[in-house]
Amino acid sequence: MPENLFKINAKEYILPGTRACQGCGLSLAYRYALKALRENTIVTLPASCLCVLHGIYPSTPVMIPCLNNSFASTAASASGLVAGLQAMNRSDITVMAIAGDGGTFDMGIQALSGAAERGTDFIYVCYDNEGYMNTGTQRSSATPLGALTTTTPIATKQQHKKDFIKIMEAHDIAYLATASPSYPIDLYDKFVKAKKIRGTRYIHLYIPCPPGWAYPPKDTVKMGRLAVETGIAPLFEIENGRFRFTGRSKSMAERGNRLPVINYLEKQGRFRRMNIEQLHQTQRWVDGKWQEYLRRAQE
């Protein structure tokens, strides 16, 4: 298979002309995830922006077999695919279930928890754009404090986002990682690694979304970088309970050069009604999590 300087598979699994928005962070992340997983992969996904990107049957720009399922059943459908493949002795095929934060943090949590508790042999990916974006930016439990959405239109969201990574870690799964489309090599490497591991693997993608977050489409990569550089979306992996920072977050942890959260928040229209108390609360929340991660990285 052809590769480039960074040893990234040069083959494309998404053809030009998807229906995702201009500057969609999900398109970038998905492109690199599929390059890492390659041909012997089956994808299962619920209604979402990704479902729109996949298109309407029988036309699709995606070159990987895919199953569309209902919202609550993404991980359940993956469990069925895994059982079927095992019965056919096809351990060479990877099953990837992938859903948005609405389809994971809220609606898909029950089936995902069940599959993870059973140690189902699959990769589950949550792409977290912090809202129900496909239906016009409704609040989810992943939406951050102080964000405007169409269901929190005046007073902004009053709660911090749910720490879903902690919930997944409590399932004692084989592999857990976070990644960002703004750091494609780090993302690619994590999918390559996840493919080789057996059991339940969970990857959390932090996905900038121009219409949902209200910033210009050209700034998607910048927004993803700021999320990492402020410590809002740190890059790490957890294997056998061992926490390890990766990529940009690793060098930040070593040098102690984290940016204040305001650098990230002020660039997004969704935070235009955030008040000063929410800003301080957000900074304290991020500081607390970062300290916890630093302590774990030193264990």
CB of 105 to ligand TPP, least distance (A): 8
Q: Is 49 in the site for ligand TPP (CB under 6 A)?
A: yes
Q: Which residue is nearest to ligand TPP (CB)?
A: 100
The answer to whether 229 and 255 have CB atoms below 8 angstroms apart is no
The pattern of x and - marking residues 92 through 131 that bind ligand SF4 according to CB under 6 A reads -------------------------------------x--
Give the CA distances from residue 160 to residues 70, 225, 236, in Å, rounded to whole numbers and listed in that order.
Answer: 27, 21, 21
Q: Is 147 in the site for ligand SF4 (CB under 6 A)?
A: no
Of the CA atoms within 13 Å of residue 289, those in its CB half-sphere come to 21
Q: Which of 13, 14, 24, 188 binds ligand SF4 (CB under 6 A)?
A: 24
CB of 72 to ligand TPP, least distance (A): 7
Nearer to ligand SF4, 202 or 206 (CB): 206
Nearer to ligand TPP, 99 or 177 (CB): 99
* 71 touches, from ligand SF4, ligand TPP, none (C-beta below 5 to 8 Å by class): ligand TPP
Count of residues touching ligand SF4 (by CB under 6 A): 12
* 211 touches, from ligand SF4, ligand TPP, none (C-beta below 5 to 8 Å by class): ligand SF4
Of the CA atoms within 13 Å of residue 5, those in its CB half-sphere come to 0
Q: Which residue has the tokens 């934060």?
A: 101
Going by their DSSP bridges, the two strands 242-245 and 236-239 should be labelled as antiparallel
List Cβ neighbours of 104 (8 Å cut-off, separation of 6 or more). Answer: 74, 112, 124, 126, 128, 164
* 132 touches, from ligand TPP, ligand SF4, none (C-beta below 5 to 8 Å by class): ligand TPP
Q: Which of 14, 18, 101, 143 binds ligand TPP (CB under 6 A)?
A: 101
Strand arrangement of the beta sheet that strand 201-206 belongs to: 66-68, 41-45, 94-100, 123-128, 201-206, 175-179, 236-239, 242-245
Nearer to ligand SF4, 31 or 171 (CB): 31
The pattern of x and - marking residues 157 through 186 that bind ligand SF4 according to CB under 6 A reads ------------------------------
* 20 touches, from ligand SF4, ligand TPP, none (C-beta below 5 to 8 Å by class): ligand SF4
List Cβ neighbours of 237 (8 Å cut-off, separation of 6 or more). Answer: 175, 176, 177, 178, 190, 193, 243, 244, 246
Q: Is 135 in the site for ligand TPP (CB under 6 A)?
A: yes
State the burial class of residue 244 (Cβ atoms within 10 Å of its Cβ: 0-12, 13-18, 19+): middle
- Cβ atoms within 10 Å of 169's Cβ, excluding its own: 15
Nearer to ligand TPP, 122 or 132 (CB): 132
Q: Which of 71, 114, 171, 297 binds ligand TPP (CB under 6 A)?
A: 71
Q: Which residues bind ligand SF4 (CB under 6 A)?
A: 20-21, 24, 26, 49, 129, 133-134, 209-212
Q: Which residues bind ligand TPP (CB under 6 A)?
A: 47-50, 71, 99-103, 129, 132-135, 140
